Amino acid sequence: MRTIKDLNIDNKKVLIRVDFNVPMKDGKIVDDTRIVGALPTIQYALDHNAKVILMSHLGRVKEEADLAKNDIAPVAESLGKLLGKKVTFVNATRGPELEDAINAMNDGDVLLMQNTRYEDLDGKKESGNDPELGAYWASLCDAYVNDAFGTIHRAHASNVGVPTNMKENSAFGFLIEKELNALSILNDPERPFIVILGGAKVADKIGVIENLVTKADKILIGGGMAFTFLKAEGYNVGKSLVDEENIDFCKKVLKDYADKIVLPVDTAVTNEFTNDEEYRVKDINDLAEDEMGLDIGPKTMEIFENTIKNAKSVIWNGPLGVYEFEKYKKHTDDLLQYIVDNNVKTVLGGGDIVAAAGVAGLKDKVYHASTGGGATLEYLEGKELPGIVAIQ
């Protein structure tokens, strides 16, 4: 993997594609986690006396009214405070204003250009990877670094167009390096390699199941998804979430990989999809027509713990229950805690499970919590991701 450390950036103009897609309210940054996350790569470039040119998308720009909402200027101020130095903001994504500002940079200066998606207003040039735009941005710099993992599954001008025009002088930043290193446990996993899958619908996870079932030693299935598998096995799952269209898919997976798939044997059931009613724990063959399972049960938990106890690597995507409800987050939280207490090498695969770990205060205690959402999911599906291909 080519990283910023492999580039000659001393005293050079380095264009870094960062992820400054921060939550904003009334022009104020609500959470600066992503800005803080970008600091190591930016600081490394500054330590090498580079002229640091930063670009990022922010929100979506479809019409004129989206421009002001997604003005990235406040990020320059926030970044300046974090770096303890001036960050020049240029309210343009191209043209003389941007070019003059770049030409006026001294070694060790930092510049942030306007939201790359301002280019989307006129023909989706950023999101559609307009070749002229990628070539233009490449012409502004000597070297290019991509450190925005969240968009790595998309082919945009800022993350694919630019490096396509400067193959030799492009590399990944530290955030992407960390993500790809952690996710690469998939390629040659230390065994036993266990996958934990939860979440709502089978439909959203078909690609992940198809890819991981061939690699894992066991797949533990919880969440709403488990009930489609259980129904495929012939159980009465009452009012539990079922993805009728994918029952045949589940049947096939259960048949082809009978020794790998581990399903719940008990579940926390209730009659309504709410946190307000009491729940009962029931064996999986004992559900009534008007009951729905919203979390796994204690017997299942024990099986899951015993299975991952000796695992050398684990990937976990999706919560085991409706973790938004206090009553049904128990086993997601308990299994996260178990993993932390027993030092099980676990990669949390994006989205809801990372959010659940964050709420439980365990996100920083697991081996790796992947931040990618869609990017992580596509990685787990085994797809080639355009932002990776463009640099490798």
- Residues noted as catalytic: 34, 201, 351, 374
Give the whole-angstrom CA distance, residue 172 versus residue 185: 18
Contact with ligand AMP (CB under 6 A): which of 163, 199, 238, 297?
199
Say whether residue 189 binds ligand AMP (CB under 6 A): no
Cα 368 to its chain centre, rounded Å, is 11
Contact with ligand AMP (CB under 6 A): which of 163, 189, 223, 372?
223
Residue found under tokens 């009553």: 327
Say whether residue 350 binds ligand AMP (CB under 6 A): no
Say whether residue 134 binds ligand AMP (CB under 6 A): no
291 to 172, 304, 329, 330: CA distances (angstroms) = 49, 23, 18, 19
Contact with ligand AMP (CB under 6 A): which of 163, 297, 319, 387?
319
Residue/partner pairs of 30-37 with CB below 8 Å, 24 or more apart: 32/78, 32/82, 35/75, 35/78, 35/79, 35/82, 36/82, 37/175, 37/371
**Residue closer to ligand AMP (CB basis): 150 or 319:** 319
**Residue closer to ligand AMP (CB basis): 198 or 387:** 198
Say whether residue 179 binds ligand AMP (CB under 6 A): no
Contact with ligand AMP (CB under 6 A): which of 150, 224, 349, 386?
224
Say whether residue 238 binds ligand AMP (CB under 6 A): no
| Structure-token pair, residue 95 | 């043209």
Say whether residue 247 binds ligand AMP (CB under 6 A): no
Q: What are phi and psi of 46, to 5 degrees?
A: -65, -40
**Residue closer to ligand AMP (CB basis): 56 or 370:** 370
Give the whole-angstrom CA distance, residue 109 versus residue 49: 8
Say whether residue 297 binds ligand AMP (CB under 6 A): no
Residue of 21, 5, 4 whose CA lies nearest to 371? 21
| Structure-token pair, residue 279 | 């729940």
Contact with ligand AMP (CB under 6 A): which of 150, 297, 318, 387?
318
Say whether residue 266 binds ligand AMP (CB under 6 A): no
Say whether residue 385 binds ligand AMP (CB under 6 A): no
- The answer to whether residues 306 and 366 touch, using CB atoms and an 8 Å cutoff, is no
Say whether residue 377 binds ligand AMP (CB under 6 A): no
**Residue closer to ligand AMP (CB basis): 146 or 317:** 317
Tell me which stretch binds ligand AMP (CB under 6 A): 25-33, 152-160, 175-183, 316-324.
316-324
Contact with ligand AMP (CB under 6 A): which of 147, 291, 352, 378?
352
Give the whole-angstrom CA distance, residue 57 versus residue 70: 9
Tell me which stretch binds ligand AMP (CB under 6 A): 136-144, 173-181, 193-201, 257-265.
193-201
**Burial of 159 (C-beta count, 10 Å sphere; 0-12/13-18/19+):** buried
Give the whole-angstrom CA distance, residue 36 versus residue 26: 21
Q: Which residues bind ligand AMP (CB under 6 A)?
A: 198-200, 204, 223-224, 241, 293-294, 318-319, 321-324, 351-352
